[in-house]
Amino acid sequence: MAWTVERSRYIVRDPPWLSIREEACRTESGHAIDPFYVLEYPDWVNVVALTDSDELVLVRQYRHGVKQSVLEIPSGAVDTADERPEATARRELFEETGFKAKRWQLVGELSANPATHANTTFCYLATGAERFAEPQLDAGEELVSMLLPMAEAVERARHGELLQSLHVASLFLSLAAAGRLRID
């Protein structure tokens, strides 16, 4: 059921932030869709890091899109120099929080919106997390790392304090992978 792309051009090209393609497409049944916009972002990683004391490693930072400080899991764009997304996940966890984890598991691959977004978010569960250093923040990165008991973090997610939908999805995929998600 793939579409045929009859014409494609970039109308915004600002890697690594965002590129936008405008395309003229034709569906398999012959219906023309012109214009159609595709948003290109880099691939992304989300890290659900748990300590042996059942605490979730979180960060709080200002997000200009919603103009508020929000609670998040460590995350970041996949660096093209990294061999694989897991290398980015390990780096982001350490840089943003100073934590390293003993065990890593890819628990899911998600798309923010497969209709229009071309990137993938790789979701990792990192267990046995321990603090080894102070955060190593990039220029312009202003965040505070913190630990919350898992039950409290889930309650905060349920009440909208963890606002980023892919972070919440990563949290629940990780809970399922860890055998901690109960559905009644």
pLDDT-derived band of residue 81, with 50, 70 and 90 as boundaries? low
Tell me the pLDDT tens digit for each residue of 4-51. 999 999 999 998 889 999 999 999 999 999 999 999 999 999 999 999
Within-domain flag for 182: no
Within-domain flag for 52: yes
Residue 80 is predicted with a pLDDT of 75
Does the pLDDT at position 184 exceed 80?
Answer: no
Within-domain flag for 156: yes
Residue 82 is predicted with a pLDDT of 65
Q: Which residues partner with 126 through β-bridges? A: 49, 104
Enclosing domain of residue 33: 4-40
Within-domain flag for 184: no
Per the structure, the count of domains in the chain is: 2
Give the active site residues: 141
In three-state secondary structure terms, 36 is: strand
- Number of neighbouring beta carbons within 10 Å of residue 134: 9
Same domain, 35 and 54: no
CATH number of the domain at 64, please.
3.90.79.10
Same domain, 74 and 129: yes
Model-level pTM?
0.93
pLDDT-derived band of residue 140, with 50, 70 and 90 as boundaries? confident
Burial 88-123 (b: 16+ CB within 10 A, else e): bbbbbbbbbbbbbbeebebbbebebeeeeeeebbbb
Residue 14 is predicted with a pLDDT of 93
Same domain, 27 and 55: no
